[in-house]
Structure 1
Amino acid sequence: MRLNKFLAERLGISRRDADNLINSGRVKVDERIAELGMQVLEAQDILVDNKKVDFPHQYTYLMLNKPRGYVSSRRQQGNTPTLYELLPEKWQALKTVGRLDKDSSGLILLTDDGNFAFEMTHPKFFKIKTYIVELDHAIAPLHQQMISDIGITLPDGVSKLFLTKLPDESGQITGKNLQVEMSEGRNRQIRRTFAALGYEVTTLHRIEFGKYQLGDLKPGQYLEVKK
């Protein structure tokens, strides 16, 4: 990167002002007085008035297809493996953006960018999450309407999900297979919502989180993505 562009971006000034700083001798690169037109690298030390100006931190954004049977925490729970066992050493410090419980699978994001994690999980940003859900028995039309239109009152508040019936493997629509969309993310919210009406969720698989889509990513595979 050209030095004047770097200074303009990091100090919030124009490139002309950055050039003036360089011309005045107030900028050093690796302890040497900088010159106009210099190119700089992240490994170099850049100082203005003897104060270091850092390159922006390069955050990591990772998408993982979490298999069923893994917990979304760094600490192992009994004999249950943690999803971090699926990741190489260089990404062990990343934090999950929300969670999927042990019996759920699908798209989970990991990052070291706290602002990104907040924007993806706080309800005010309204990030839609989409799941494929299978129930132990067909949902009644009245219950589907209640969940989608009114919401179900749980101990931690009303849970409102948007449901669409899906065909099963034979192509039949039985009412057991559903697409579920939600913008919240309370602990085991989908499972608790259906349980309140007498249903057990036998399969829960997340396929979308905001703009991120699982696509063809196989269970246990991960992919570095852009913000």
Structure 2
Amino acid sequence: MNAPEGTRLNKFIGESGFCSRREADKLIEQGRVTINGLRPELGTKVQVGDKVEVDGNPIAASAENKSDRVYIAYNKPIGITCTTERHIEGNIIDAIGHNERIFPIGRLDKPSEGLILLTSDGDIVNKILRAENAHDKEYVVEVNRPLTEHFIKKMASGVPILNTVTKPCVVTMQSKMVFRMVLTQGLNRQIRRMCEYLDYEVVKLKRTRIMSIRLAGLKSGQWRDLTEDEMLEINTAVADSSKTASN
């Protein structure tokens, strides 16, 4: 009889809610993880009954239906940094003060504000980031001088930044110096870099939507649990991401 297939160690730790898979890989490389008292290699699989520990602290397997996981939407204020590093002043974890160990899905620049998702489900973080182009994100942006038709057309058709050209997207003018933008890309500081290329400076940038998840009346600094419908959409969006995953 063949031995059970098991679960990759980084996935096991991620699903437990201890940290993301990427962070789990770092812990394994640092020799801080043991299985049944032994230090494993990257890629080792956890079998039923195995005892997994990080720094000597036991890691419990996730509930089969993930009923023990936390998924929240947070209206991030300007000045909050999307990091789990607690020694960094103004980190998002201390700002929220949740009683569960959570981490952000993606990021939102420190000078930016608005919607960001956080979770205790390290496995779904990786799936969402891998499937990033499968969902859209909406932003409201104020710039430092009046908008032109040329600017709107260029932002929508694509701008050369970071050794590539941004993908076509939907851009609409809201007022004299404010526009709305829907992205399916997530390049580093993308909107700010695009504006800079066209000689504009971002004065205010707010993310208002991720897929169908909206701020929904959340005041700056407030958070709420995701609804069943919102979770269904997320799980549908990432359903195929594991098939192309290398880990």
Deviations 1:138-195 (A, max 9, x none): 222112212212x01112421234211113xxxxxx1x10101101111111100110
**Any stretches of 5+ residues in structure 1 without a counterpart?**
1-49, 168-173
The aligned residue for residue 74 of structure 1 is: 84
Share of identical aligned residues, percent?
Answer: 27
**Whole-angstrom distance in 2 between the partners of 1:67 and 1:128:** 21
Written as runs of structure 1 = structure 2, the 5 A alignment for 1:20-169 is 55-56=63-64, 57=66, 58-75=68-85, 80-91=89-100, 93-122=101-130, 125-149=133-157, 151-160=158-167, 161-167=169-175
SS state at 1:163 partner: strand
Q: 1:211 and 2:212 equivalent? A: yes
Shift of 1:120: 3.0
**Whole-angstrom distance in 1 between the partners of 2:78 and 2:121:** 26
**Any stretches of 5+ residues in structure 2 without a counterpart?**
1-47, 51-60, 232-247
Shift of 1:113: 2.2
Shift of 1:111: 1.0
SS state at 2:191 partner: helix
TM-score scaled by length of structure 1: 0.66
Give the conservation status (yes or no) of the 8 Å contact 1:162–1:182.
Answer: yes
**Whole-angstrom distance in 1 between the partners of 2:72 and 2:224:** 6
TM-score scaled by length of structure 2: 0.61
Q: 1:189 and 2:198 equivalent? A: no
Deviations 1:50-108 (A, max 9, x none): 97998413221011100011111122686x411212223523x2111110111000000
Pairwise CA RMSD = 2.5
